[in-house]
Structure 1
Amino acid sequence: LILVLWAVPSTSLVCQECFCSLANISACDCSPTVTAPDGSHCLIIEDLDPENPYVQLTYAETNSSYVRIKDTYYVIVDESIYYNETTTTWNTKTKRVVHGCDWDNCNQFSLYEALPDTFKLTINDAWLNENIYGDGSITECNTCSNQTCGINIDQNLCPITTCENSTRCSMYNLWHDVDTGESCYESRCALPEFSDEYNEDNEKYQVQIEAIVYLAQNRSNFDIWELDINCAVENCTRPSIFLEIKGQILGNASVLPIFPPTRP
């Protein structure tokens, strides 16, 4: 009996792997590698948490939203447009930048410094005052405690609920397919103990935007991948508000040419 063994080549992706505090970035060692599971891709994550900013090289977990991205060569900038109650102005800050790529060892540590600081996302202040802040207090919100998904989400599926010990609504929208408009929506009264992780600026009212640029496509264009909203205006949790916000967003998606226009 002769056994013939066939060698099946692995299609798994090799990614760089490390976790580095920005406070001690010179000590960072990102030489280790890791094999990403099928369906994943490599990541560079720059998280700008004011208390513990860090850079992480890793791969996209298969249960994360990143694996749903249609083209896995991209840059995402997560920016918050928030109402500063001290200055009574709308300000913008970058919370996180993510670079995704899909060939071996593409998430090199040296690329993190080339990540954009911002896409300079803006929304008209008057629109924000009217549709997000209002008078700073609300008593009712549409409530979908579980994700409701579809192309045209019926507002009746998320009934109006009176809030207890809360004066704001909290909601988010994640686009599964930007081209068709298919998305998932969740909304509720903001938890009384809610405190934004960047609370040094008292960001109780905000539109948090994840904008994505596909690096192998037109880099002057960006899509809105996810929106998170904290608002205090009557009917501000209507599902249609996400498309309204998308129509209001302006920005400048400037990505440095160090990222090659085509995959190797």
Structure 2
Amino acid sequence: MTKDTIELSPSHLEYINTNLSTKTAEEILQWSLTTFPGLFQTTAFGLTGLVILDMISKISPGAHPIDLIFMDTLHHFKETLELVDRVKAKYPQIQIHIYKPEGVNTEEEFAREYGEKLWDTNDTFYDYLVKVEPASRAYEDLGVKAAITGRRRSQGGARAKLQAVEYEADTKLIKINPLFNWTFQQVQQYIKENDIPYNALLDQGYRSVGDYHSTVPVKEGEDERAGRWKGKQKTECGIHETSRFAEFLAARNQQPQAQS
């Protein structure tokens, strides 16, 4: 990442969020597209991310103005990877940057390098390897200064008080959450009305789809993300909690860089 970063003071951030609190998702996206250099969309191709992708394609028909970043953890459901191909077919103008855990390309290679079922033996290290480190590498490689995410308040957990814009003081990264105040029902309706491809698992009781080993269908009345990390005191994979991984990231940054 270049040294030029965008910094937001707490008062400026509050001012922005107050102004955006009554704006539509499309208006927030339009504002983001014209305001931030180094803007990307991070996505795991969940429903909200797909809505955002479609909205941007309509704001700028013919040429998608921002690239997408997808973290291939090597442990996705096959339905998720099939969805990526279907999304590419519907939106051929998009560019997707795919990042995997460093130094490995398959689930088998990952297990040989780090041990079987690392998510059970050391889930913090697992999250770092499959999400946090690849994201940090992507942001550095691509010069990401601001990222559009698909997070919403209605997903519950740590997201219940989400604002339209966040600022990570430790990474200097700005995160824009254009659908922060949408409900799951609103997202579903948009997907249906605009004929957007979505993950086939959603028709089998899933709502939020992550890695196959830590995602189960949601029961009636449960939070949307209740099927993620069932039975654990955990609601995030770490990609939105970078301060928790500061020690890992500091060690990575101290490693000598390979010469090109």
Q: TM-score range by the shorter chain?
A: under 0.3
Which structure dedicates a bigger proportion of its chain to helix? Answer: 2
Q: Compare relative contact order (CA 8 Å, sep 6+) and give the higher one, 1 or 2.
A: 2
Q: TM-score, normalised by structure 2?
A: 0.27
Normalising by structure 1, report the TM-score: 0.27
Specify which structure has the higher proportion of strand.
1
